[in-house]
């Protein structure tokens, strides 16, 4: 029986795709973004976070059979159909579990449920080939348009990530590029222009901007991990609007709050 390495499932999620959704966060990621908003999903191993102030503990990481996942998420099936929602599979890097994700999407598709994969793309193209026939939509992160910055910040194979994005767009999949706006990394004018040029050359049509925030600080504390962006100021509303207008010229743009 096929199992997935699940971090946690978030029900009634409204920021991870259209309509009301359940987001299945998978555990394990092959990148190391120092600003990561979901640090508890990066390690593939189970973890328990202990929050110092309240003493609250939260555990992440459980192997779940596909039947168990479907039973859990189908409890909200009425909400998906009434809102145009569905299931988002995120992480971590869900495409590291491509074969299992493909099977889950296939089962959900048979039940008439919309599926969306949220990926950073740094996996062999064969992984996408497994999932492509069954997923309705992809959110694809562009962390940086610059190979050097990629190597110095998130790691991973820049050419593989961009190559997969090109192939995904060429395959006529429904692809929305997501750009996390990280101060000091990719939100200066030069980087943004480079991102814009790169995405236009690939034929991307829609871009979601995700401004950096520090809401994950307490998770890093509870994990006793270093958080390099603890003192980084989020971008101002004015700057976010300026950035939006840069992308507005060639793309359909949304800002995720």
With contacts defined by CB under 6 A, name the span among 27-35, 72-80, 125-133, 162-170 that binds ligand SF4: 27-35
How far apart are alpha carbons 233 and 214 in whole angstroms?
A: 8
Element spanning 114, H or E: strand 114-119
With contacts defined by CB under 6 A, name the span among 31-39, 48-56, 67-75, 76-84 that binds ligand SF4: 31-39
**Which tokens in the block code for residue 1?**
């029986």
| Residues within window 146-185 making contact with ligand SF4, judged by CB under 6 A | 154
Longest dimension (CA), the chain: 51
How far apart are alpha carbons 185 and 191 in whole angstroms?
A: 8
With contacts defined by CB under 6 A, name the span among 25-33, 45-53, 96-104, 163-171 that binds ligand SF4: 25-33
Among 31, 113, 168, 223, binds ligand SF4 (CB under 6 A): 31
For ligand SF4, which is the closer residue by CB, 61 or 92?
92
For ligand SF4, which is the closer residue by CB, 40 or 130?
40
Count of beta carbons in the 10 Å neighbourhood of residue 229: 22
Contacts 24+ apart (CB under 8 A), 109-112: 109/134, 109/136, 111/70, 111/74, 111/77, 112/81
For residue 29, state whether it binds ligand SF4 (rule: CB under 6 A).
yes
| Residues within window 73-112 making contact with ligand SF4, judged by CB under 6 A | 91-93
Among 4, 6, 20, 33, binds ligand SF4 (CB under 6 A): 33
For ligand SF4, which is the closer residue by CB, 130 or 141?
141
Least separation in angstroms between CB 38 and ligand SF4: 5
Nearest CA-CA partner of 135 in 162, 84, 170, 100? 100
For ligand SF4, which is the closer residue by CB, 80 or 122?
122
With contacts defined by CB under 6 A, name the span among 38-46, 72-80, 193-201, 229-237 that binds ligand SF4: 38-46
For residue 41, state whether it binds ligand SF4 (rule: CB under 6 A).
yes
Cβ(143)–Cβ(122) below 8 Å: no
Within 13 A of 30's CA, how many CA atoms are on the CB side? 15
Measured CA angle at 46 (ends 45, 47), to 5 deg:
115
Beta bridge partners of 176: 139, 206
- List residues near ligand SF4 by CB under 6 A: 29, 31-33, 36, 38, 41-42, 91-93, 120, 154
């Amino acid at each position: 029986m096929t199992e997935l390495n699940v971090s946690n499932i978030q029900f009634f999620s409204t920021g991870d795709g259209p309509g009301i959704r359940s987001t299945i966060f998978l555990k394990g990621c092959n990148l190391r973004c120092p600003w990561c908003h979901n640090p508890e999903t990066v390690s593939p191993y189970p973890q328990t976070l202990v929050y110092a102030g309240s003493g609250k503990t939260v555990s992440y990481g459980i192997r779940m059979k596909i039947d168990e996942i479907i039973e859990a998420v189908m409890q909200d099936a009425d909400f998906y159909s009434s809102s145009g929602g569905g299931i988002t599979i995120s992480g971590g890097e869900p495409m590291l579990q491509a074969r299992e994700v493909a099977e889950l999407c296939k089962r959900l598709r048979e039940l008439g449920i919309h599926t969306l994969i949220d990926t950073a793309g740094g996996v062999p193209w064969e992984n996408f080939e497994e999932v492509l026939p069954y997923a309705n939509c992809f959110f694809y992160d562009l962390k940086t348009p610059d190979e050097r910055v990629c190597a110095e910040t998130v790691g991973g194979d820049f050419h593989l990530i961009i190559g997969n994005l090109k192939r995904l767009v060429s395959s006529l999949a429904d692809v929305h590029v997501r750009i996390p706006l990280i101060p000091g990394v990719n939100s200066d004018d030069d980087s943004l222009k480079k991102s814009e040029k790169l995405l236009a050359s690939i034929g991307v049509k829609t871009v979601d901007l995700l401004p950096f925030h520090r809401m994950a600080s307490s998770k890093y504390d509870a994990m006793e991990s270093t958080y390099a962006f603890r003192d980084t100021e989020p971008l101002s509303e004015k700057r976010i609007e300026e950035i939006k207008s840069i992308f507005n010229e060639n793309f359909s743009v949304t800002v995720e709050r």
